[in-house]
A and B are shown apart, each in its own frame.
Chain A
Amino acid sequence: MERNAEARRIVPQTEEQPDRSERPLKLTPPKQKKAWFGKSLIYVGLIALTIACIIPFLMMIINATRSNEEVLSGFSLIPGNSLAENYAALSSYVNIWSGFKNSLIIAVLVTVLSGYFSAMTAFGFAFYQFKGKNVLFVFMLVMMMIPGQLGLIGFYELSKNLGLLDSFIPLIVPAIASPFTVFFVRQYLQTVMHPSLIEAARMDGASEMRIFHTIALPMMMPAIATMSIFTFIGSWNNYIMPLVLLFSPEKYTLPVLMGFLKGSQVAENLGSLYLGIAISVVPIMIAFLFLSKYIVSSISAGAVKE
């Protein structure tokens, strides 16, 4: 909104809008040939960038099917036939799927808790007048600016004192307090929901909790879904927290497990190592194939809301 206002100041409104029908003619430059050449050059650049984005994954997938000797002997774009051996070698050392399962459990619970409680907090902030409301909200925004690493040592000590080391709880429960999600959902809620809707529900005798669950929560869903994508990716990729808090290999999340793979015996067989990486990457790539549209629009929405 503000941006548009600014734009209007910079570009005077008066001298725009020629006849719509003749616009394409005016915009097409006479130097057709040169434009065509420049355009192809741009496409070549874009395709080169696409290759740069994909080739590490391609190398990974190909190398995952080749034996250690083949990988050592040189680069190739032809897959080998050692996939089964590589998998056998890999799974005799580590259980990648357990890391997968742990990461999934944590990320799903984090996403659900963060979504539900952020909605609840946003609702409380948006539709009730209570003492200290603004102070609390501003304080939350200030805390949002603080980098996560600041409390790392205190967080570790707290988990130790509560007996929560080597447990998923300190990785999951803090998701209940996600300031950024609260902020985003509250902004959204204020634009889509009118207080009179709540008044009407109260008249009909609905309890406050019921109003939240049956009226407000469904209306907040688009904003929660947007933030959930970030929350999920953030939790899935979180490395330093589980690294500090978890000790038992069977509890390791995928990132921590991958981190230890390098120093393990698996690293002696490069084919298996590539396969391990591929297993951690490919499911995400497949999920992305189906979800890319939503992810892209989430990122856009998150940024423009700022």
Chain B
Amino acid sequence: MKKLDRHGYLFIAPFWIVFLIFSIYPVALTFYYSFTNYTGAEGEQLVGLANYTRLLGDTYFIEAFFNTIKIWGLNFLLQIGGALLLALLFSDLQLKLKGLAFFRATFYLPNLITISSVALLFGILLDWQHGSLNMMLMKIGIISDPINWLTQPVTAQISVSLILTWMWLGHSFIVVMAGVSGISKDYFEAALIDGATRWQIFSRITLPLLKPILLYIMITSLIGGLQLFDLPMLITDGVGAPDGALNTMVLYLYNQAFKYNNYGYAAAVAYGLFAITLVFSIIVFKGMFRKERSPKGA
């Protein structure tokens, strides 16, 4: 048996060779660069913690952090709230809604589209002067003057949040729905017979049982959200305008590295982002576990 078990190494060898070269080595190399003043040319020098001290006092990075949190936060609330609401409606035993497959597929559709197409599409649909959205809203009579969707800081952030919600609501809905359908119908029926209200069923049965799924959505959405890049990059041509309101952390990283050739500093930005992601993940985990002990539910 000993000899056969050595085959295990052979089976996992391709994975580990590629993993070492293309995943672990780049992460380690980035870590090394974060302590240097590397600019893309040979002969970088070690600068100690200079990049990290600079990062802590970098108002652009701090601003990018808050922008990312704001954009992600609004999107997350809408996304998870919407997904929960939809899942509750479709799992409600009294309502017996029809067309789950159709709605689920339609709501998911935007998630499948290449994000650069989405950005380009909304970039022109939301255009102040020639955008179809303003034109349509004015034609219906909801607004009388065109709205500067993408050129005012607050509306630009809200627009990006809403586009993200548009893209991800269907995905979250499918995931939450998968969780809800995993709960035995007997619990809901028993609760109904006992005269429980919708809210009681939701807060005492559905929500506690959905905790693992919600944790999964939160963590994946958090990691993805903190890395928000494509949409702001494409909508603002990488500038992060208006007033830097769409400058996110990864956009800042990208510009520092590939626009200004500050590879060393950009590497520190990457690790700063990693630290932030780690802290937030721990907060989410802790928060979820604390709730589990309190009798109130959520």
A residues whose Cβ falls under 8 Å from a Cβ of B: 2-4, 6-7, 10-11, 15-18, 23, 26-29, 35, 38-39, 42-43, 46, 49-50, 52-54, 56-57, 59-60, 63, 71-72, 74-75, 117-118, 120-121, 123-125, 127-130, 133, 136, 140, 143, 145-158, 170, 173-174, 176-177, 179, 182, 202, 208, 212, 233, 236-237, 239-240, 244, 254-256, 258-259, 261-263, 270, 273-274, 276-277, 280-281, 284-285, 288, 292-293, 295-296, 299-301, 303-304, 306
Nearest-Cβ distance from residue A255 to partner chain B, whole angstroms: 4
List 23 A-B pairs, Cβ < 8 Å: A7-B209, A15-B190, A117-B18, A124-B7, A130-B9, A147-B226, A150-B273, A153-B30, A153-B33, A153-B270, A154-B29, A158-B26, A174-B18, A233-B112, A240-B254, A254-B114, A259-B234, A262-B120, A280-B114, A280-B117, A288-B105, A288-B109, A304-B182
Whether a CB of chain A sits under 8 angstroms from the CB of B73 is no
Q: Which of B33, B103, B186 contacts A16 (CB under 8 A)?
A: B186
CB pair B174–A74 under 8 Å, yes or no, is no
Known: A46-B89, A46-B97, A124-B7. 9 other contacts (CB 8 A): A3-B209, A16-B193, A35-B94, A149-B227, A149-B250, A239-B116, A255-B114, A270-B124, A284-B114
Cβ–Cβ contact A75 & B114, under 8 A: no
Evaluate contact between B25 and A277: CB separation under 8 angstroms.
no
| A-B interface, 4 closest residue pairs, ranked by CB to CB distance from nearest | A128-B8, A124-B11, A154-B26, A154-B29
Partner of A158, one of B29, B119, B274: B29
Across the interface, name the chain A residue whose C-beta is closest to B297: A10
Shortest B23–chain A CB gap in Å is 6
B residues 20-41 near A (Cβ < 8 Å) are 21-31, 33
| Residue contact A258 to B117, C-beta cutoff 8 Å | yes
The answer to whether the Cβ of B43 comes within 8 Å of any Cβ in the partner chain is: no
Minimum CB–CB distance from B11 to chain A (whole Å) comes to 3
- Scoring B116, B174, B226, B234 by chain A CB atoms within 10 A of each residue's CB, the highest score goes to B116
Size category of the binding interface on chain B = 35 or more
Are the C-beta atoms of B229 and A240 separated by less than 8 Å? yes
Q: Which residues of B contact A153 (CB under 8 A)?
A: 26, 29-30, 33, 257, 263, 266-267, 270
In the bound assembly, the distance between CA atoms of A2 and B263 in angstroms comes to 46
In the complex, what distance in Å separates the CA atom of A212 from the CA atom of B190?
A: 48
Specify which chain B residues have a CB less than 8 angstroms from the CB of A233 in the assembled complex: 112
B184 CB–A CB distance under 8 Å: yes
